[in-house]
Each structure stands twice: as structure tokens, then as C-alpha cells.
């Protein structure tokens, strides 16, 4: 019979010590990893789709989505500082809400990380294909889109997934260094856009501010929430972080604040410098704005920056997914080989390769918009569980040491839950239906595999082998 067995925090930390990952990341690297995970398809591609739903109110959509993420980030920071091991929302749920909830969170994090990585890979492919066509090196159409668009496979999306996966296998420190360089390139591109578009902003372009009403703003917020997906990937790196009690909260909150500021300023420039209707249907909205304003060179540079730097988002999505699988395997909720670490690179190489195959398949055959919306459902579910968890732990274990305290937790926690639920119900109905189908499949897998192998079955401890 399934129950709500909870894995004590001490047991989680002890188990991590027996098979741990190498600590090599500092506060700056974590913040850059967070920015690398956040800034990508959401701002470079989905701005046009968001404007179609909200008009100039897209600025408000970004603020709403960013605020909800901010509440969740505070909850994540408290738990990540208390439990500085890999696993993110899965680990926190295991310690507070019970095993079955933790399993479902880990299962749904596949939507957040692996599926999101596929969405970004498809977005990157669009920019790459456009660039190759412009220099006369275009690929056959059937190799650049999936079956939904009359093709065979999106080969560029598969290619970038394989390249990023290989980089992750080489090592965390090396991946973080490359990520920092590419993040700097993205920031330069966005700063250039803000500086060039700013002087052309016309107040008339902001009227009406919400042409489709507040429902349109929320519909856009539910979509462009994808622009923030990945900031919590910082918490999955806790076990590979030096002084995680201090550095993980800095990385989580710092990256979120920086990215929200950029999103609002970029959106103001995009919808303020030209009528928002002109953005609709554009696959490269920021570059399009630059061309309309006469900055052709800047448009090319922004497009090049997207091509070069968007892989940082794929990198962080794959990084987060492999670490979730690693911890679930360490808990014996997945086969043991998922937790094997490479003898030279000290990274979970087997699970990285398996994740690469899954992400490549999704990126190669499915549409980017549907992938992005489905990814949001898994993220929102994880945020809800973490926000509930931090409140429950304050009540059940108030005396426990907390290196970072979530301020006004009795307000922040419920506000995060309510905000996430509001965004969830603002998603298309077919996306919500697919989410519950995914959850049902996960429940079956848990009942047939995870529940039977759990180290907590029949009161066993983590150090005792499961039969």
C-alpha cells in the first residue's frame, strides 16, 4: 500500500555523502548558470507570441511571471541552503511531503528540464537554419523540421543537443566556464537592443495597453513563464557548489532579478518602438525590430548572439535533468546505473547520454510551442510543491537551523502556490490534459517500480539495500 513515508533530512545528507559530486562552483558561476538557463527562447523567440496574446501588456505578463518565480525562488533558497545536495524540488519534497509526492515531482521535472531543453533546441534550430540559408549553405527542408511540418527530422536541433551533452560529460567546471562566456554574449546583445530601441519608443504604441484585456495578459504570462523556466536549475547544482548555504540563494535570487530586469526593458523596447501587431508571427522578433529601425548590423549581431548563446539554456536544462535522475537513482527510485559517475570526469555520464537521446528525439520530431507549454506544467507543479514544503517544514521543524530564511514565509509560500495555480489554469486546456496524463503514467511507474525498490519500504533505512 502506498503511503506518505518521508525521508529525514539527515538521511538525505548522509546518503549524498556516500556518493557525492565534486564541489567546484562559486556564487558568480551559479548566478551565470542561472542567467544562462533563463535567457533564451523565451525572450528571443516567444516575445512575438506573447505580444499576440497581450499586446503592450506583455510587459505586465513578464512582471507577473517573474513575481511568481520570485516567491518560488525564496522558498527554493531556504530549502536549498538547508539541504545542500543535488535533487532540487524532488529532494525537498521527499524530505517534507513524502515519497509519492517526491516521485511525482521528479517525474514532472522531466517536463521542466528535458522537454524544455528540446524546446530551446528547436528554437535554436530556427535561428541556425535562417543563418545557413543566408550564407547559401541551407539544409534540405525535410532535415530541418519534424513530421508536423512535412519534414523527416529537425537535424540541427538534434545536433546541438548532442554537442551540449558531450560538454556536460566532460565536466561541470568546464561547462560553467563556457556557459559564463556565452551568457556574457547574450547580455551584450540584449543591452545593445535596449540602447538602440530605447530612443525610438513612442508612448502611442502602448495604447491600448491591454488590447485583449487582463485575460490576454494572463494567457501571455502562462506562455512566457517558459522564459523563466530553469532558474531553479541552480538548486540542482547545490551538491557541486562551494559554500552552498551562501552561494545557492545568491545564484537563485540574483539570476532571477537580473533576468526580470532585462525582460521588462527588452519588452518595452520591442512594443514601444513599433506597433505590437508588427511582431506577430515573427520567428526572430528582436532582430526584426532592429531591421525596422534601420539597424541591420545590430539585427545580424542579435541573431548571431542567439545562435551562439542559446545553447547555454540547453546546457542548464540538461544539467538539471541529469542531476535529478542521478539523485533519484541514488535513492533507488530509478535503476542504479543512472547514478554511475565517470571515473575521470566525475560526472554522471550514463544518465547524461540517456537524457541526450530522449531530448534529441523530442527536439527532432515535435513543435516548439507545444513543447514549451507542456514544459511549463511540470515547472509549476514543482514550484507548488516546494512552496508548500517550506511552509510545512517551518511548522513541523521550527527549531531546525536555516542558513537562509525565506522572509514572510507565511505570506510568500501561499502567494507562490496561488500564483502558480493561476498561471496553470491559464494554459490551454489540451496542455493541462496532457499534464495529467503524464502524471498518471508516472504514478503507474512508481507503483510498479519505485515503490517496490524504495529504501524506505517497510521502514528500511537508506543504508539498507532494497530487495
For the stretch 163-194, what's the b/e string if a residue is b when 16 or more beta carbons lie within 10 angstroms of its beta carbon?
A: ebbebbbebbeebbebbbebbebbbebbebbe
Angle at 351 between CA 12 and CA 233, to 5 degrees: 60
Residue 98, domain extent? 22-139+179-310+369-453
Residue 25 is classified by DSSP as: B
Q: Give the separation between CA 115 and CA 50, rounded to whole angstroms.
A: 20
CA atoms within 13 A on the CB side of 460: 16
Tell me the CA distances in angstroms from 62 to 92, 128, 221, 264, 396, one per residue in order. 27, 26, 6, 7, 35
DSSP-assigned states of every residue in 131-176: HHHHTT-PPPGGGTS-GGGT-S--HHHHHHHHHHHHHHHH-HHHHH
462 within domain boundaries: no
Please state the length of the chain. 467
Residue 362's pLDDT is: 86
430 within domain boundaries: yes
Phi, psi of 25 (to 5 degrees): -105, 140
| pLDDT of the chain, 467 residues: tens digit per residue | 344 556 665 555 555 444 444 555 667 777 777 777 677 767 877 788 888 889 999 999 999 998 998 898 888 888 877 776 655 678 777 777 788 888 888 888 888 788 888 888 888 887 788 778 777 787 888 888 778 777 788 888 899 999 888 887 776 555 556 667 777 888 888 999 999 999 999 999 998 999 989 989 998 998 888 888 766 666 656 555 666 667 777 887 888 888 888 899 999 999 999 998 888 877 678 888 998 999 988 888 888 888 887 887 788 788 778 777 877 887 777 777 776 777 776 677 788 888 889 888 888 888 777 787 888 898 899 899 989 989 988 888 888 877 778 888 999 999 999 999 999 998 889 999 999 999 999 889 888 887 777 766 655 444 343 43
Angle at 97 between CA 91 and CA 98, to 5 degrees: 80
Domain count, the chain: 1
For residue 147, give every residue at least 6 positions away whose Cβ sits within 8 Å of its Cβ, in sequence order, or none: 365
Q: Where are the alpha helices (DSSP H) in 273-367?
A: 285-292, 296-309, 311-330, 349-365
244 within domain boundaries: yes
- How many Cβ atoms sit within 10 Å of the Cβ of residue 302? 27
Q: Where are the alpha helices (DSSP H) in 397-450?
A: 409-425, 429-445
Please give the grid coordinates belonging to residue 356.
541526450
Residue 339's pLDDT is: 67
345 within domain boundaries: no
Tell me the CA distances in angstroms from 133 to 154, 285, 292, 396, one per residue in order. 15, 18, 21, 60
Residue 8's pLDDT is: 60
Q: Give the separation between CA 312 and CA 180, rounded to whole angstroms.
A: 9
CATH number where 410 lies: 1.20.1740.10
- How many Cβ atoms sit within 10 Å of the Cβ of residue 363? 32
185 within domain boundaries: yes
Using N-to-C axis directions, what is the helix angle for 172-197 and 155-170, rounded to 10°? 130
149 within domain boundaries: no
Please give the grid coordinates belonging to residue 104.
511525482
Q: Give the separation between CA 286 and CA 102, rounded to whole angstroms.
A: 39
DSSP-assigned states of every residue in 56-124: GGHHHHHHHHHHHHHHHHHHHHHHHHHS-STTHHHHHHHHHT-HHHHHHHHHHHHIIIIIHHHHHHHHH
Rounded to two decimals, the pTM is: 0.78
Q: Give the separation between CA 287 and CA 270, rounded to whole angstroms.
A: 10
Q: Give the separation between CA 246 and CA 244, rounded to whole angstroms.
A: 5
Using N-to-C axis directions, what is the helix angle for 213-224 and 47-54, rounded to 10°? 160
- 8 A C-beta contact, residue 358 and residue 114: yes
3 within domain boundaries: no
Residue 440's pLDDT is: 93
375 within domain boundaries: yes
Amino acid at each position: 500500500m502506498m503511503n506518505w513515508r518521508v525521508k529525514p533530512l539527515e538521511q538525505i545528507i548522509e546518503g549524498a555523502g556516500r556518493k557525492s559530486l565534486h564541489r567546484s562552483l562559486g556564487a558568480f558561476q551559479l548566478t551565470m548558470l542561472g542567467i544562462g538557463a533563463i535567457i533564451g527562447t523565451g525572450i528571443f523567440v516567444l516575445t512575438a507570441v506573447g505580444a499576440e496574446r497581450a499586446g503592450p501588456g506583455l510587459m505586465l505578463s513578464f512582471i507577473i511571471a517573474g513575481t511568481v518565480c520570485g516567491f518560488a525562488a525564496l522558498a527554493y533558497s531556504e530549502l536549498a541552503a538547508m539541504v545542500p545536495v543535488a535533487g532540487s524540488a524532488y529532494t525537498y519534497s521527499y524530505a517534507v511531503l513524502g515519497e509519492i509526492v517526491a516521485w511525482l515531482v521528479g517525474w514532472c521535472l522531466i517536463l521542466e528540464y528535458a522537454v524544455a531543453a528540446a524546446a530551446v533546441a528547436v528554437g535554436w534550430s530556427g535561428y541556425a537554419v535562417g543563418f545557413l540559408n543566408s550564407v547559401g549553405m541551407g539544409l534540405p527542408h525535410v532535415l530541418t523540421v519534424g513530421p508536423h511540418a512535412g519534414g523527416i527530422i529537425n537535424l540541427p536541433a538534434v545536433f546541438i543537443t548532442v554537442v551540449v551533452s558531450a560538454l556536460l560529460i566532460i565536466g561541470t567546471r568546464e561547462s560553467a566556464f563556457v556557459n559564463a562566456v556565452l551568457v556574457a554574449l547574450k547580455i551584450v546583445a540584449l543591452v545593445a537592443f535596449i540602447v538602440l530601441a530605447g530612443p525610438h519608443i513612442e508612448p502611442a504604441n502602448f495604447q491600448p495597453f491591454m488590447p485583449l484585456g487582463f485575460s490576454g495578459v494572463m494567457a501571455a504570462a502562462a506562455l512566457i513563464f517558459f522564459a523563466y523556466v530553469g532558474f531553479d536549475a541552480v538548486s540542482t547544482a547545490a551538491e557541486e557548489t562551494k559554500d552552498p548555504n551562501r552561494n545557492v540563494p545568491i545564484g537563485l535570487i540574483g539570476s532571477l532579478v537580473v533576468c526580470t530586469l532585462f525582460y521588462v526593458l527588452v519588452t518595452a523596447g520591442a512594443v514601444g518602438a513599433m506597433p505590437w501587431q508588427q511582431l506577430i508571427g515573427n520567428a526572430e522578433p528582436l532582430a526584426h525590430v532592429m531591421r525596422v529601425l534601420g539597424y541591420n548590423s545590430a539585427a545580424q549581431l542579435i541573431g548571431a548572439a542567439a545562435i551562439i548563446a542559446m545553447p547555454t539554456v540547453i546546457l542548464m536544462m540538461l544539467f538539471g535533468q541529469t542531476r535529478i535522475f542521478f539523485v533519484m537513482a541514488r535513492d533507488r527510485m530509478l535503476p542504479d546505473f543512472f547514478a554511475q559517475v565517470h571515473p575521470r570526469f566525475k560526472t554522471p555520464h550514463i544518465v547524461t547520454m540517456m537524457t541526450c537521446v530522449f531530448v534529441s528525439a523530442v527536439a527532432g520530431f515535435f513543435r516548439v510551442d507545444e513543447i514549451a507549454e507542456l514544459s511549463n506544467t511540470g515547472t509549476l507543479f514543482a514550484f507548488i510543491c516546494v512552496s508548500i514544503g517550506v511552509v510545512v517544514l517551518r511548522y513541523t521543524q521550527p527549531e531546525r537551523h536555516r542558513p537562509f530564511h525565506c522572509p514572510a514565509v507565511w505570506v510568500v509560500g501561499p502567494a507562490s502556490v496561488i500564483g502558480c495555480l493561476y498561471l496553470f489554469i491559464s494554459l490551454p486546456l489540451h496542455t493541462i490534459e496532457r499534464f495529467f496524463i503524464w502524471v498518471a503514467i508516472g504514478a503507474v511507474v512508481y507503483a510498479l517500480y519505485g515503490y517496490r525498490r524504495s529504501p524506505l519500504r517497510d521502514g528500511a533505512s537508506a543504508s539498507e539495500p532494497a530487495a
